[in-house]
Amino acid sequence: MMKSMRGTDRLQVGGVFGKWDVAVGDQIAAHVRPIKLDKATLLVEADTATWATQVKFLADTIITRLREEAGVVVEHVEVRVASKRRG
């Protein structure tokens, strides 16, 4: 996982991943998870398109909360929808 965090120090990574639930709240954390932090861009994955849309609307709030709760500077939040695997 750390390999995908190029350009980002461990404190920032730990802050985002360690404080995610506190920063975004239990409801969002149940449906959206951080995937990758690359410099100031955070990639998150939502379990449905509806939650992905919600995160896009809340991106500024999430950025502010991560700064307040985790001391991490994120400038952009990119969102993707988790793929459903057949099997």
* Length in residues, the chain: 87
- Residue 1 has a pLDDT of 41
Task: Answer whether 0.85 is exceeded by the pTM.
Answer: no
Q: Is the pLDDT reported for residue 43 higher than 60?
A: yes
Name the 3-class secondary structure at 44.
Answer: strand
Residue with tokens 């920032």: 12
Average pLDDT over residues 24-31: 96
* Neighbouring C-alpha atoms within 13 Å toward the C-beta of 67: 11
Average pLDDT over residues 9-19: 73
CA 6-9-14 angle, 5° bins: 110
Query: How far, in Å, CA of 80 to CA of 68, rounded?
Result: 24
Query: How far, in Å, CA of 64 to CA of 72, rounded?
Result: 9
Residue with tokens 């929808």: 81
Tell me the pLDDT of the chain averaged across its residues: 86
pLDDT confidence band for 18 (50 / 70 / 90): confident
